Amino acid sequence: MTRVLVANRGEIAVRVVRACRRLGFEVVVAVSAADRDSLAARLADRAVCIGPADPGRSYLRPELLAQAAVSVGADVVHPGYGFCSEKPELGELLAEEGIAFAGPRPETLRAVGDKSSARREAIAADVPVSPAEDVADLAAAHAAADRIGYPALLKAVHGGGGRGIHLVREPADLDRTFDLAAAEARAGFGDGALYLERYYADARHVEVQVFGDGEGGVLVAGDRDCSVQRRHQKVLEEAPAPGLSPATRALLHDSAARLARHLRYTGAGTVEFLVDDSAGADPATVVFLEVNGRIQVEHPVTEELFGIDLVAAQLLLAAGLPTGLPESLPEPHGHVVECRVTAEDAWVGFRPSPGRITAVVWPAGPGIRVDTHTTDGYLFPPFYDSLLGKLVVRAHDRTAALDAMAAALGNARVDGIATTLDFLDWLVAQPDVRRGGVTTQWLDRVWPEVAGARTAVGAA
């Protein structure tokens, strides 16, 4: 029997455990001291503690995860997302022990994990990119900004997950933020390298799901719109991306497939783009953002749209078995929307809200999926990401899917801590969201005024 070590926590650990169960694989979960009694640990055949609650001494240590895999006799390690999922060192340590990694090869992760390197790979694959330059110091940044034009984005070369990004609108902004951005990059990603990139104020964030066989064969599994973001963090995702012309969609899919083939990509990955249709051109302006060399948080959107299991396919590919995926997928029918429910108080600057969950009720019914690790009485820890769960709905069209999401949110309840359920209820009712096509800046522009008005009323 194939034995899998899940090198992650939270809802994605539960998701992988359940996929292993369906496949008949034995499953062990690597846990920190804070997660010994987690839902994933209880659902798995066993759990192995790899360190204390501090992720820097547990989940972020590839050598500890590799040691755990060896100690339990794992055949495959699934890294989930975040933590060590895109660290090539983990795959290398596992390869030395003859253990398969459910993800891309280490050399692929190195090629796409560094934003500058990923950009070079995209150019080599004839994928459209935005004007950008590496900037070694402040003087170089000013010179680059003069060539690229303001406004621009100052980004960490090794950043990810929407972190390590600063908007600079004028030279004075560069003076104020350059040293801060470099320090943040060193603290957050272990490297202070920065680059400057053209800023697209009216762009949407559209990504393409790919799955590679490692030999150049690539399945394109549609696209997702992830433009509803708060400070570069995704809040709502949907598929198919609304409002794309056939020419723009073809450009996105073809570009993603070319890059994945060029990389001889293995397993599930996402190629992210900015789409700017403000000029009315067809196809719209499309520029490469990055490759996420792992399963995405929002993968259920694609799974529900096409009726496929990307996590199971990852595990099967790593185990040397047929993935169960077709060579191509039909045109999708219907629409899927996902909302990320977090333990945060949206009305107070999205302040984290760890603590004891006294009761939790998630909606159920046709077309509804919930991926979560929360249960009644669960002590939501302060050490990790604030994600409580992902609420996913499918319906025959986009309007019906948003209506179904509004109803599902109304039937969800998490007691004991603050959550973003009421914020999400507000979000899916907004006319701009209902129309579709909001840009990545929309939520950051609209929400502060809404939250501020409520705070002012409460103080009156």
The catalytic residues are: 294
Helix (H) or strand (E) holding 206: strand 204-213
Taking Cα atoms as reference points, which of 95, 92, 94 lies closest to residue 68? Answer: 94
Residue type, 337: V
- Cβ-in-10-Å burial (0-12, 13-18, 19+) of 388 comes to buried
Phi/psi for 447 (5° steps) reads: -65, -45
Largest CA distance in the chain: 65
HEC profile of 243-284: CCCHHHHHHHHHHHHHHHHHHCCEEEEEEEEEEECCCCCCCC
- What are the CA-CA distances from residue 10 to residues 250, 361, 379 (Å)? 35, 17, 12
Crossing angle, helix 421-428 and helix 398-410, to 10 degrees?
150
CB 3 within 8 A of CB 77: no
Rounded Cα gap, residues 228 and 420, in angstroms: 14
CB 7 within 8 A of CB 74: no
Return the residue matching tokens 């694609």. 302
